[in-house]
């Protein structure tokens, strides 16, 4: 698409969601808005043992097109946005007062002008 794209991220953005965010940013198709992501850039596999215990091994690493690993450090957004303490208490009812959405709309309006 030739339309501008924003991807909203925060500390709960992890694993494949981080890979998606990194990939669209690396392709210069999108900007990231929010705060630093979780930093889970590895693939793990759980093996169950006969005594009902299990062991988990890291079997791979997610690498976006840039090749820069985000494992253990997360992705830093292009535009930093966070909830206030009051907003964080009930982020699902913010509507037009959501700072992430406001910043995304502001960015998209600036890009499309």
The residue annotated as part of the active site, out of 10, 29, 40, 69, is 40
The residue annotated as part of the active site, out of 26, 29, 69, 78, is 26
Does residue 40 carry a catalytic annotation?
yes
Q: Are strands 54-61 and 42-48 parallel, antiparallel or unpaired?
A: antiparallel
Q: Give CA–CA dist 45/12, Å, rounded.
A: 21
The residue annotated as part of the active site, out of 15, 29, 69, 102, is 15
DSSP 111: H
Does residue 26 carry a catalytic annotation?
yes
Give the pair of three-digit tokens for residue 20. Answer: 């998606």
Catalytic residues, by residue number, are 15, 26, 40
């Amino acid at each position: 698409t030739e339309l501008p794209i924003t991807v909203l991220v925060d500390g709960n953005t992890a694993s494949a969601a981080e890979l998606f965010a990194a990939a669209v940013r690396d392709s210069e198709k999108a900007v990231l808005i929010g705060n630093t992501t979780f930093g889970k850039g590895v693939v793990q596999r759980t093996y169950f043992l006969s005594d009902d215990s299990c062991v988990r091994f890291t079997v791979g690493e997610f690498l976006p097109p840039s090749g820069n690993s985000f494992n253990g450090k997360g992705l830093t957004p292009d535009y930093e946005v966070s909830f206030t303490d009051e907003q964080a208490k009930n982020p699902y009812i913010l509507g037009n007062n959501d700072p992430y959405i406001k910043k995304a709309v502001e960015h998209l309006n600036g890009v499309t002008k």
